[in-house]
Amino acid sequence: MADGTASIGSFSDPVVVDPGPSLLVALVAAYRDAAPAAVDPDLDALRDGAEADDDPLSPVADLPRLTVLARERAVDAITDRFRSASRLAAVVEAGIWDLRMLVESQPNAVLAGRSDGCVLIAAAEESDDGDATSTDRGPWCRIGSDPTLRDRYDALLADAETVRVRTPSRHRLYGALRERCGEEVADEAVRLLDEDGGGSESLDRSGARVRAYAAGERLG
């Protein structure tokens, strides 16, 4: 996300402060790319996870822990869409992300650890509507290096409320449907949720609920 050699894993106790929608999406995507079978599983991975002895989200535990202090508009840009919300839910449910609500905007997005910190500047401006799926913005550039930057946000973090992601991860949804309704219904629900291709990126929570009910009606 940032130029040079900066990465989340190089920071101790990292926190990202005030990411815009596109940066928040990019952060989730980084974890998805590192552990796709946990964060954004296809049907085969969901079946394997349901039958495994270990928690299907356990691969995420090896990734860097991250505290994210984000404004409501950035969180809503992800959670308004079912598939992106389920990815966010996966990193939160796994305990690898501590997602907190930021009340007031900050001058810039910040990535900071206990011994280093920097400002993240987008290569292109974010659109006014906060479109989280836009691909016309380039990478985020690291600006500066400040070992005291993390300390400035400790008070904000202490007062910030935890964000509750109402959409479940795909593993939790599939497991619940399989337990209550059986494997056939759970499989059909996933097929319906994904039937638009590309992971049904535009599907909202209410639409996802309707499709899950439809699977039960078809096979119940």
Which residue do the tokens 């005030």 mark?
18
**Ordered DSSP codes for 104-134:** S--SSEEEE-SS-EEEEEESSPPPTT--TT-
For residue 96, the model assigns a pLDDT of 96
For the stretch 139-191, pLDDT in tens is: 677 888 899 999 999 999 999 999 999 999 999 999 999 999 999 999 999 99
Q: Of the ranges 25-39, 109-123, 206-220, which one carries the lowest mean pLDDT score? A: 206-220
Average pLDDT over residues 23-38: 94
Cα 104 to chain centroid distance, Å, stands at 21
For residue 124, the model assigns a pLDDT of 60
Q: Which of 29, 67, 79 is nearest to 153 (CA)?
A: 67
Compute the CA torsion angle 55, 82, 16, 19 (nearest 10 deg): 170
Distance CA 46, CA 137 (A): 32
For residue 38, the model assigns a pLDDT of 96
Compute the CA torsion angle 30, 16, 201, 58 (nearest 10 deg): 50
* Position with higher pLDDT, 118 vs 196: 118
For the stretch 88-127, pLDDT in tens is: 999 999 999 999 999 999 998 999 999 999 998 876 655 4
Distance CA 81, CA 146 (A): 36
Which residue do the tokens 């202490």 mark?
158
pTM score: 0.86
For the stretch 47-73, pLDDT in tens is: 999 998 889 999 888 899 999 999 999
Cβ pair 110, 117 in contact under 8 A: yes
